[in-house]
Amino acid sequence: MRQTVQVTRELDPGYAEVFLERQSACSGDCHRCGGCGAVREKLFVRAQNPIGAQPGDHVTVETDTKSVLVSALIVYLVPLLLFFAGYFLGTAVGFVPGLSGSLGFALGVVPALLWNRHLERRRETTFRITGFVQE
């Protein structure tokens, strides 16, 4: 994923802090599609800075698509799959299906929490400044 952002300050050698608005999965044309009108989240993130961008520069930032997809898989798909597995397993063995499905969902949230903790501890950035934007 690629986005145009502004560098806010220099950090450790080879890194910079950039200001960006988190992109949503939709096109952002809420007035056109009558969508949810979701508020864009404003973030200051750490990005690799191999080009030596300085505060105030407008640059292009790329995100590793693989890490975003893995995160989405763990956060969204695993709890959903474990909900259905718990539901159908509960039905097969005579438990209350809703309760066993809810338990499966709760167990599916655990990998998401562990993944989040892993990413925070690793403190490795998935953002990389790739070029300057001419204004």
Residue 92 corresponds to which tokens in the numbers above?
């097969």
Residue-wise pLDDT for 14-66, tens only, equals 999 998 876 655 555 555 555 555 556 777 888 899 999 999 999 999 887 78
* pLDDT of amino acid 102: 94
Distance (Å, whole) CA 76 – CA 116 = 13
